[in-house]
Amino acid sequence: MSYIRFSFISVKRTIDIRKIIGFIMTVIVLTSTNMCTYNIYGQEISTDDELVPVAASDLAITSDACVLMEASTGTVLYEKAKDEKVSPASITKIMTLLLIFEELEKGTLKLDDEVVTSSYAMSMGGSQVFLEEGEIQSVETLIKCIVIASGNDACVAMAEHIAGSEAKFVEMMNVKATSLGMINTHFEDCCGLTDSDNHYTSAMDVAIMSRELIVKYPQIHQYSTIWMENITHNTRTGSSEFGLANTNKLLKQYPYTTGLKTGSTSKAKYCVSATAKKDDIEMIAVIMGAPNYKVRFSEAESLLKYGYGTCKLYKDSNDIKLKELTVISGVKKSITCVPKSGFSYVLSDGASPDSIEKKISYLEKIVAPVEKGAKVGEITYVLDGKEIGKVDIISNQKVEKAGFIYSLKRLFEEFLL
């Protein structure tokens, strides 16, 4: 039997038409990259492109639908046909990744867990990393295969590992979509390979699940910013390396890019959910139904430039010391309290963060019993005379109601004093 040797493969590997196709696809991905480059993992910066802000009137999005969202607040800054149902292609994998990271958070899954590839997972067409039946890979390696190379086979292998079958995993995906308020989404598979009319989403729903993933699990960017990496196939025919090349060309095209996922099929055309971070502001630009890959990336970049050129993010960590509050009829005379959370707000149209007014108010009476975490006041944020948000002030301790004997003792002590 004859053998073939590629420049990035360290050992001989049996000729397999799937491997040859994989090599050709990798070359195409790399050669289609925009020639202007930026500093990614020590690479040289070479660009004449100035990051000039884009006006909304100049965006002229030609793709079927789009959404630009500020991630911390979920504020939609620009949209076109945001609720129109469209085919998501491999952007479907964002939901798959979200469920994977949820399992990691729960501890039911670990990055070094071993996943065995089934014959069904191996049979996936489209974008793949050419896993073989019985091949064992770690969860972390398969995450890289999904995020970087959009591997359908890796996606199905993970779905089967978590839920027992792809069908059961897809049920989990749809339950999660409903819980997130993704009202225009229904999944039929875990990778987006299907052409079913019952597999659909919207630009808004893609932004919603993208936000859930990057806000709750920012470690996703450890993988989505990898430009190239090799994985090792260990199979019955031997050991070999396979090159993963990131499908998201914005990593080379726009310097603030942090991810996230591309997709393309004849039905969906070209899609991308692009994430970026600049000046502590995180943006999500979703493009659905672009006519070609160049438009997909250029219009996502235009949305991001528009967002960063027109918006500022007001953030208040609420790391402040509040006064102690008097408690009536409690075993303690007072309680300490804290803000329940921080607060953030997207400012546009040239508004300044300094123009936001912060007002603190407390309940007139606090009567025991008081549970820890009970609301005892609120912080109100006002911009140009209009309320833009509130944060509860909560008790930082529990205070039980004083009984008769305790109350009598306190009265006696106060009398003596």
Tell me, what's the pLDDT at 14? Answer: 39
Give the C-alpha separation, 34 to 249, whole Å: 7
Give catalytic status of residue 90 as yes or no.
Answer: yes
Element (H, E) at 62: none
Residue 141, CA distances (Å) to 57, 126, 256, 353 in order: 43, 19, 25, 43
Tell me, what's the pLDDT at 300? Answer: 97
Which of the residues 150, 298, 344, 395 is marked catalytic?
A: 150
Spatial contact of 285 and 304, defined as CB atoms under 8 Å apart: yes
Give the C-alpha separation, 397 to 198, whole Å: 51
Strand order in the sheet with 337-339: 337-339, 386-395, 375-383, 356-362
Which of the residues 19, 80, 87, 90 is marked catalytic?
A: 90
Give catalytic status of residue 93 as yes or no.
Answer: yes
| HSE-CB of 50 using CA atoms within 13 angstroms | 3
Tell me, what's the pLDDT at 175? Answer: 98
Give catalytic status of residue 224 as yes or no.
Answer: no
Q: Give the Cα-Cα-Cα angle 334, 337, 339 (nearest 5 degrees).
A: 165
Tell me, what's the pLDDT at 294? Answer: 95
Tell me, what's the pLDDT at 416? Answer: 64
| HSE-CB of 91 using CA atoms within 13 angstroms | 36
Spatial contact of 98 and 374, defined as CB atoms under 8 Å apart: no
169: which 2 tokens?
A: 């995993």
Burial status of residue 265 (CB atoms within 10 A of its CB: 0-12, 13-18, 19 or more): middle
Give the C-alpha separation, 70 to 68, whole Å: 7
Tell me, what's the pLDDT at 311? Answer: 86
Tell me, what's the pLDDT at 407? Answer: 57
Tell me, what's the pLDDT at 29? Answer: 46
Number of residues that this document lists for the chain: 417
Tell me, what's the pLDDT at 410? Answer: 60
Give the C-alpha separation, 369 to 397, whole Å: 11
Tell me the domains of the chain and their CATH numbers.
3-310 (3.40.710.10), 316-416 (2.60.410.10)
Tell me, what's the pLDDT at 312? Answer: 86
Which of the residues 19, 93, 144, 261 is marked catalytic?
A: 93
Strand order in the sheet with 257-265: 75-80, 65-70, 281-290, 269-278, 257-265
Pairing of strands 257-265, 238-245: unpaired
Give the C-alpha separation, 145 to 403, whole Å: 64
Among the listed residues 247, 224, 288, 230, the one whose alpha carbon sits nearest the alpha carbon of residue 89: 288
Tell me, what's the pLDDT at 52? Answer: 55
pLDDT tens-place values along the chain, 417 residues long: 333 333 333 333 434 555 554 555 554 444 444 333 333 333 333 333 445 555 676 788 999 999 999 998 899 999 999 999 999 999 999 999 999 999 999 999 999 999 999 999 999 989 999 999 999 999 999 999 999 999 999 999 999 999 999 999 999 999 999 999 999 999 999 999 998 999 999 999 999 999 999 999 999 999 999 999 999 998 888 899 999 999 999 999 999 999 999 999 999 999 999 999 998 899 999 999 999 999 999 999 999 999 998 888 899 999 999 999 999 988 888 999 999 999 988 887 777 888 899 999 999 999 999 999 999 999 999 998 999 999 999 999 999 888 666 655 666 666 666
Give the C-alpha separation, 2 to 15, whole Å: 7
Strand partners, 377: 362, 393
The helix, strand and coil proportions of the chain, stated in percent and rounded to the nearest 5, come to 30, 30, 40
Give the C-alpha separation, 314 to 388, whole Å: 11
Tell me, what's the pLDDT at 237? Answer: 84
